[in-house]
């Protein structure tokens, strides 16, 4: 006997995927602006002019003016901001797991973006000597320590995936009030896996011509979500409330996310410069 609202046909899954993709980009842009804002504050405090592109900030000072404290502050702070953002999003998700509403998806993706950019950025930075890896070189870390930090970052990526898997499971209550075990693989494919693959591909294309080392950070999100996909067959039946669910596409949300992404890409494509060339503090 078919459960109420248990239809998993393509028209419904398309709505699930589009809503999730919109939240994917909105949460990514929120972290993007947050990181750039913190970078601007730190660079201004050091009297360092900075130019923001869509894929990285460029500090407009000669290499001879760099010192270890400046490098650590400017190249490690993005990972710290991403981590704080991820933790804040997870706290929200933990408290609203059983609530019905699309905004929950924003915070789940926010945790994924923040966690992946923190530990994925550390891992890629160590391998390519960019970002966090550049700061590690200035801290004169031995290769053994870099290897340990790389392995720890990889472990934390997978740990984050397992940590958020339950929230992805509970997100099905946005669309269904009764769920059987066999519904999860298809739902998670459209809600998580397909959105992650499409979102990562779009971001990589939009970030061109970013250096290869910086582009590698984006797919770390897919690596992090592997545990979610693997656990998709292990979720049990769930029953929520008896309220009706809607599969109506929130067209305004999709359009807003698309326009915000396009505007951000165009504006930062020209480069935003702040500060003037002067000796840093």
Listed in sequence order, the DSSP H helices in the chain are 10-45, 68-96, 103-115, 121-128, 132-138, 143-170, 184-188, 194-206, 212-215, 220-224, 226-230, 251-270
Lowest mean pLDDT among 3-7, 142-146, 220-224: 3-7
E strand or H helix at 273, and its extent?
strand 272-274
On whether the CB atoms of residues 19 and 62 are closer than 8 A, the answer is: no
User: Residue 235 has what pLDDT?
Assistant: 61
Q: Is the alpha carbon torsion for 89, 93, 96, 102 positive or negative?
A: positive
Three-state secondary structure call for residue 227 = helix
Q: Where are the chain's structural domains?
A: 10-274
Residue 246 pLDDT > 80? no
Please state the rounded mean pLDDT for residues 242-260: 85
Question: For 56-99, how does the pLDDT look when each residue is reduced to its tens digit (9 = 90+)?
Answer: 888 888 888 888 888 888 888 999 999 999 999 999 998 887 78
What's the pTM value of the predicted model, to 2 decimals?
0.90
Residue 51 pLDDT > 80? yes
Please state the rounded mean pLDDT for residues 93-113: 89
Residue 30 pLDDT > 90? yes
Please state the rounded mean pLDDT for residues 167-184: 81
Q: How far is CA 129 from CA 97, 108, 124, 143, 247, in A?
A: 38, 30, 8, 12, 46
Question: For 195-207, how does the pLDDT look when each residue is reduced to its tens digit (9 = 90+)?
Answer: 999 999 999 998 8
Of 172, 238, 157, 222, which is closest to residue 20 (Cα–Cα)? Answer: 172
């Amino acid at each position: 006997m078919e459960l109420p609202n248990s239809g998993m046909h393509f028209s419904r899954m398309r709505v699930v995927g589009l809503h999730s993709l919109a939240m994917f980009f909105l949460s990514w842009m929120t972290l993007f602006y947050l990181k750039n804002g913190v970078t601007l504050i730190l660079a201004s405090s050091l009297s360092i002019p900075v130019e923001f592109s869509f894929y990285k900030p460029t500090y407009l000072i000669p290499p001879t003016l760099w010192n270890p404290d400046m490098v650590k502050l400017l190249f490690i702070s993005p990972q710290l901001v991403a981590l704080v953002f991820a933790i804040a999003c997870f706290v929200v998700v933990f408290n609203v797991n059983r609530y019905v509403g699309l905004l929950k998806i924003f915070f789940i993706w926010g945790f994924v973006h923040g966690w992946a950019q923190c530990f994925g950025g550390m891992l890629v930075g160590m391998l390519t000597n960019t970002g966090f890896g550049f700061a590690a070189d200035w801290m004169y870390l031995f290769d053994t320590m870099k290897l340990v930090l790389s392995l720890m970052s990889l472990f934390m990526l997978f740990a984050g995936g397992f940590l958020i898997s339950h929230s992805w499971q509970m997100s099905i209550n946005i669309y269904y009030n009764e769920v059987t075990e066999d519904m999860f693989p298809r739902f998670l494919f459209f809600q998580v896996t397909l959105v992650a693959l499409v979102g990562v591909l779009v971001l990589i294309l939009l970030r061109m011509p970013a250096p290869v080392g910086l582009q590698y950070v984006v797919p770390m999100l897919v690596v992090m979500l592997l545990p979610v996909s693997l656990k998709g067959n292990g979720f049990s039946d769930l029953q929520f409330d008896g309220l009706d669910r809607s599969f109506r596409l929130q067209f305004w949300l999709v359009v807003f996310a698309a326009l915000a992404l396009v505007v951000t890409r165009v504006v930062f494509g020209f480069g935003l410069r702040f500060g003037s060339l002067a000796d840093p503090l």
